[in-house]
Amino acid sequence: MSTFVSGRTGEWEIVIGMEVHAQVVSNSKLFSGSSAIFGASPNNHVSLVDAAMPGMLPVINAQCVKQAVLTGLGLNAKINKFSVFDRKNYFYADLPQGYQISQFKHPIVGEGEVQIELSDGSTHKVGIERLHLEQDAGKSLHDQHPSKSYIDLNRSGVALMEIVSKPEMHSADQAAAYIKKLRSILRYLGTCDGNMEEGSLRADVNVSVRRPGEALGTRTETKNLNSVKFIMQTIEFEVQRQIELIEDGGEVMQETRLFDTSTGMTRTMRGKEDAHDYRYFPDPDLLPLTFDDAFIDELKIGMPELPDEIKFRMVNEYGLSSYDANVLTEERETAAFYELASDGRDRKITANWMSVELFGALNKAGIELAQSPVSPNQLGGLIDLISDGSISGKIAKEVFSEMFETGKDAKLIVDEKGLKQVSDESAIVTMIDDVLATNPDKVNEYRGGKEKLFGFFVGQVMKASKGQANPGMVNKLLKQKLDL
Amino acid sequence: MSELLKMTATQARKSLLKREISSVELLNAYQTAMEKTEALNNYVTPTLEVAKEMAIKADKTYAKGNAGLLAGLPIGVKDLFCTKDIETTACSAILKGFFPPYESTVTSNVWKSGGVMLGKLNCDEFAMGSSNETSIFGPAINPWSKIDGSDLSSGGSSGGSASSVAAGAALMSLGTDTGGSIRQPAAFCGVVGLKPTYGRCSRWGIVAFASSLDQAGPFTRTVEDSALIFSAMAGHDQKDSTSASLETPNFSEAVNSGIEGLRIGIPAEYYVDGMDTDILNLWKKGRAWLEQAGAKVVDISLPHTKYALPCYYIIAPAEASSNLARYDGVKYGKRIEKESLDAMYEATRADGFGEEVQRRILIGTYALSAGYYDAYYLKAQQVRRLIKEDFDKAFNDVDVILTPTTPTAAFPIGAEIVDPITMYLNDVFTVPANLAGLPGISVPAGLSEQGLPLGLQLLAPSFREDRIFSAASAIEKQAEFSLAPVRAAGDLQ
């Protein structure tokens, strides 16, 4: 799926790989019993283990292991029944142990893949290299005191999954599609809440450029990007920078860079020569992590349907467009809402109502689907009234607005306001006769060939019925009367 | 008072149960003994007030008839065990003033059984040393002296633990053994020192030196006492992932259970250059004693023994270099304020760690570095596996292995500290058991020509401490070793 960009001296191919850090959904931390919940006041979720007190030992949290395996399954990846925790040694004030417990040589999850879909409707596969479990560090606060830094250890020891892609993306759009899809899978699985603003999902982006067909160029790694927009900006900036650098006779240095959100540019954080020697070695406080097939099978059974499967069903069984299916499966909650609302009803009409009216109203009100005043069953009730001819589409929109405002059922609103569609032929004929009788000149003009006036008569009849006349019947009966 | 000091733990427990003596009386005797032997520099933090409360409580349990296994027995603790609200320093400047808000699992088990805590005992800094001379408190001194009266090393790293028991200043004590730190000082001081199987005693709350090798164990005057206190210390602990999930048997039953038909292995590779003739002779004696008691002695081979020491001095420092990274001046212990974080680290760690600790951190850091890892750490792990396989094979043919504990008797203070390599050679017979995770014991078995105690070491397969206690009690019976150091608090026999 390579696309090329043009430089001054010719074509360039972009190569992108991503390391995503996803915070595991778990009540407690990876190796201690303290709470892993976000938002507590500083240093309130810190156990003796998290603070690296002398003699404290890590004990693996089984829930985090399950979540990692579940994620591996969701990425169609190889699950390693034997994995090893290693120590990654470096000094920093918010790293109390002086090492991070991670997995180096033997990760819990091996190769897998993610299918991404681009705006042109094409789908592509991005390979996953590995997924491993590791501890998060604490947080350094440099802005609390003029000369001191403060340390918050609430995050210290919280479980992260590092998901490493293969260098198989070739544009900012592809990278964006990848992170969105990954986020969606994690949220469906319930293994990461995907909240990028709070930092529960963040990415390190590796970018290099090369002449088409040539060996990989030197890459730079830009750390800790916490929005899709920043990821795209980083890639665009880095690609431009690297191409210009090479075309001007320079050389890309292998280095770690930082993204400046205020300028949209990246800058050097540290070069290769300053790279840490992490002195990885197996953590002697922990035994290798092992489990059997039964453990994996049990998780497989409990696995939810993932967006790709649901989308396939929506397109092939429900006849939805690929676009609608995408919109409806992006979030697990949306798909679940839709399934409930459309169950036993016209799938396409429900899809339209959700993506146009409901999402429009939610957007306008600035609220999430979870807070929707209209429940899936209520939306379904409205669709029922449309389908059985009780109300027209136009009235339905009115009813929907009221539902959204009051949270009342569609049927109740229709009954209270007397909005039920008039499908009684004799009643409609009476109204038509009235309209024709009060507009004899227009009738003559119409019959004389000014057929455009048909719309006028329909409008008048609908007006007379206060919009409740069945428009199909009005059309049919009016035509009969006028074309006598 | 002297009568009280003469009692073994098992005897004292009997007398306490019969209410012939009280825990408080026993404590008072030991308090006096501690004062008398102060010059030995065994206690770095005496805890007599705590001890008094514990003794009073123990007496109440005897009165009620629900006394624990160790109720009222005065016990000293190596300053490597974290003890709640009691200063715990690992005998290092970097932890001076550290009062843990928690109690290690092993000490917790001992106090739950009614043990009375006399205080924290001297050791080498972070348990790194074989003479107790790297302690910031200065060396613990051996109660046995040279013929000319000059001071001898207590051995190390658990020097204070060995010396206090030998001097009658503690009835029993707790130590840790990473490469011989219980067995070597036990041999030097003439007491029984047990290093249990790796995983038998929880490491939770013990200041870590080398996590894959560290193991807590007791110092006692008799094998019977060793089984008694060990039964209270051991047990599965969910807080230590390497702790074995096994029931703790009643080890006391193994003591004096007889060794008829027990197969004893004598490894050819333990005849090393520079070994004292006294020790060689004692080893032969040990063999004869066991044969007389009905055991079958077999010559065996542990071919990779010569690699054990170099292998140990890669793995232990490598793990230590990482374990000691947490002492960085940020959270607790010593901090030397500087302008930048890196400068603070450098100043704090340069000042807080002694020379030997720094040496091992540097060796370990080097061994784990990119480009050296395969040649050092990885190779050492491979050798470690071969050493373990040697033992596995040997234990197909024998039940217990008999070796000397140390190549020499206690040496004078200052004699070996000058040359790290000479110092490291002290561990040549003890290190293999740590690398293989096996249980080992040192039993005092005789005296050198200079009148200094010598120990014999017994090794068994993992979790077969029972065999060790059987064989060790057989040696103890025949050796008739007399614990009579010149600087003891009183007559101990």
CB pairs under 8 A between A and B: 99
- The pLDDT of residue B426 is 87
Which pLDDT does position A1 carry in this prediction? 61
Q: Indicate yes or no: CB of B331 within 8 angstroms of CB of A277.
A: no
Res. B353: pLDDT tops 90: yes
Quick: pLDDT tens for B386-424: 999 999 999 999 999 999 999 999 999 998 777 888 888
- For A90, the closest chain B residue by CA position comes to B325
Least Cα separation, residue B102 to chain A (angstroms): 9
Q: What band does B1 get if pLDDT is binned at 50, 70 and 90?
A: low
pLDDT tens per residue across span B447-467? 999 999 999 999 999 999 999
φ and ψ at B385, to 5 degrees?
Answer: -65, -40
The full DSSP string for B271-321 is: --TT--HHHHHHHHHHHHHHHHTT-EEEEE--TTGGGHHHHHHHHHHHHHH
pLDDT at residue A275 above 60? yes
Rounded-to-integer distance, Cα A474 and Cα A429, Å: 8
- In 10 A of CB A328, how many CB atoms? 26
Distance from CA of B97 to the nearest CA of A (A): 13
Q: Does residue B100 fall inside a structural domain?
A: yes
Q: Which residue of A has its CA nearest to B374?
A: A281
Is B306 a residue of the active site?
no
Nearest to B218 by CA among B472, B477, B481, B35: B472
Q: Which amino acid is at B145?
A: S
Catalytic residue among B157, B164, B321, B470: B157
| Residue in B92, B108, B323 to test binding to A, most A beta-carbons within 10 Å | B323
Looking at residue B249, its amino acid is P
A15 contacts A167 by C-beta, under 8 angstroms: yes
> Is residue A412 packed enough to be buried (19+ CB in 10 Å), middle (13-18) or exposed (0-12)?
middle
Q: What is the pLDDT of residue A417?
A: 82
**What's the CA angle centered on A173, arms A171 and A178, to 5 degrees?**
100
Give the CATH number for residue B54.
3.90.1300.10
Quote the distance between the C-alpha of residue A295 and its chain's center: 29
B370 touches chain A (CB under 8 A): yes
Question: Would you say residue A421 has pLDDT above 90?
Answer: no
Per-residue pLDDT tens for A253-265? 999 999 999 999 9
Q: Is residue B175 part of a domain?
A: yes
**A53: contact with B, CB 8 A cutoff:** yes
pLDDT tens per residue across span A157-191: 999 999 999 999 999 999 999 999 999 999 999 99
Q: What is the mean pLDDT of chain B?
A: 96
Contact state of A51 with B242 under an 8 Å Cβ cutoff: no
Name the catalytic one among B22, B23, B78, B231: B78
Name, in order, each residue with C-beta under 8 angstroms of A233's C-beta and a sequence gap of 6 or more. A259, A264
Of A55, A91, A99, the CB nearest to B204: A55
Is B245 in CB contact (< 8 Å) with chain A?
no
Residue contact A97–B100, C-beta within 8 A: no
Domain that holds residue B134: 2-264+397-479
Told to judge if B157 belongs to the known catalytic residues of this protein, a careful annotator would answer yes
CATH number of A425-482, picked from 3.40.50.300, 1.20.1250.20, 3.40.50.10470, 1.10.10.410: 1.10.10.410
Chain A contact for B90 (CB, 8 A cutoff): yes
As given in the structure block, the two tokens for residue B359 are 């040496």
Cβ–Cβ contact B369 with A under 8 A = yes
Residue B375 contacts A, CB cutoff 8 Å: no
List, in sequence order, every residue forming a beta bridge with A259; answer none if it has no partner: A266
Q: Confidence class of residue B135 from pLDDT cuts 50, 70 and 90?
A: very high
Strands in A99-102's sheet, in edge-to-edge order, are A99-102, A86-89, A281-282
The three-class DSSP label of residue A81 is: coil
β-bridge pairing B74-78 and B116-121:
parallel
**CA closest to B212 among chain A residues:** A284
Q: Please say if B78 is a catalytic residue.
A: yes
- Inter-chain touch B330–A87, beta carbons under 8 Å: no
- B384 assigned to some structural domain: no
- Reported as a single tens digit per residue, the pLDDT across A353-379 is 999 999 999 999 999 999 999 999 999
How far is residue B431 from each of residues A119, A263, B92, B434, measured CA to CA in Å? Answer: 65, 60, 24, 5
Chain B residues with CB under 8 Å of A139 CB are: none
Going by C-beta distance under 8 Å and a sequence separation of 6 or more, which residues neighbour residue A316?
A: none
* pLDDT, average across residues A243-262: 94
Measure in Å the smallest separation between the Cα of A267 and chain B Cα atoms. 23
CB contact under 8 A, B330 and A96: yes
Are the C-beta atoms of B202 and B237 separated by less than 8 Å? yes
How far apart (Å, rounded) are the C-alpha atoms in residues A227 and B454?
Answer: 69
Q: Environment class of residue A101 by beta-carbon count within 10 Å: exposed (0-12), middle (13-18) or buried (19+)?
A: buried
pTM for the predicted model, two decimal places = 0.91
For an interface test with B, the pick among A30, A53, A87 (most B C-beta atoms closer than 10 Å) comes out as A53
- In B, which residues are within 8 Å of A54 by CB distance? 82, 88, 90, 95, 98, 100, 207-208, 326
Using a CB–CB cutoff of 8 Å, tell me whether B209 touches chain A.
no
Whether the predicted pLDDT of A422 surpasses 90: no
Give this complex's ipTM.
Answer: 0.96
For chain B, the domain total comes to 1
Nearest CA in chain A to B316: A284
pLDDT tens for residues A375-410?
Answer: 999 999 999 999 887 888 888 999 999 999 999 999
Q: Edge-to-edge, what's the strand order for the sheet holding B192-195?
A: B43-46, B116-121, B74-78, B172-177, B215-220, B192-195, B440-447, B453-459, B400-404, B263-267, B296-300
Instruction: Look at residue B198 in the predicted model and tell me its pLDDT.
Output: 98
| 3-state SS, residue A203 | strand
Domain ranges of chain A: 4-297, 305-417, 425-482
Residue A48 forms contact with B (CB below 8 Å): yes
Distance from CA of A56 to the nearest CA of B (A): 6
The confidence score (pLDDT) of residue A2 equals 66
Taking the CA of residue B183 and the nearest CA in chain A, the distance in Å comes to 22
CA distance A290 to chain B (A): 13
Instruction: Give the model confidence (pLDDT) of A30-78 as tens digits.
Output: 999 999 988 899 999 999 999 999 999 999 999 999 999 999 999 999 9
Å between A284 CA and nearest CA of chain B = 5
What does pLDDT average to over chain A? 93
Chain B residues inside the 8 Å CB shell of A57: 203-204, 239-241
HEC string for B224-258:
HHHHHHHHHHCCCCCCCCCCCCCCCCCHHHHCCCC
- Chain B residues in contact with A53 (beta carbon < 8 A): 82, 100-102, 331-332
Q: Which amino acid, one-letter code, is at A407?
A: G
| Facing residue for B241 by CB, picked from A48, A60, A281 | A60
Out of B321, B326, B341, the one facing A52 most closely (by C-beta) is B326
Mean per-residue pLDDT for B138-162?
96
Q: Residue B453's beta-bridge partner residues?
A: B447
Give B373's contacts in chain A (Cβ within 8 Å).
279-281
Question: CA–CA distance from A289 to each of A60, A105, A286, A300 (Å)?
Answer: 9, 13, 8, 19
Phi first, then psi: give them for residue B483, nearest 5 degrees: -80, 95
- B23, B104, B154, B181: the active-site residue: B181
H-type alpha helices, B401-463: 420-424, 431-436
Rounded mean pLDDT, B103-113: 98
- B98 reaches A (C-beta below 8 A): yes
Probe site for chain B from A281, A283, A286, A289 (most B CB atoms < 10 A)? A281
Q: Could you give the count of Cα atoms lying within 13 Å of B325 in the half-sphere of its Cβ?
A: 24
Task: Tell me whether A281 touches chain B (CB under 8 Å).
Answer: yes
Q: Which of B88, B90, B241 sits opposite A58 (nearest CB)?
A: B241
What distance in Å separates residue B211's CA from the closest CA in chain A?
6
Q: Which residues of A touch B369 (CB under 8 A)?
A: 277, 279
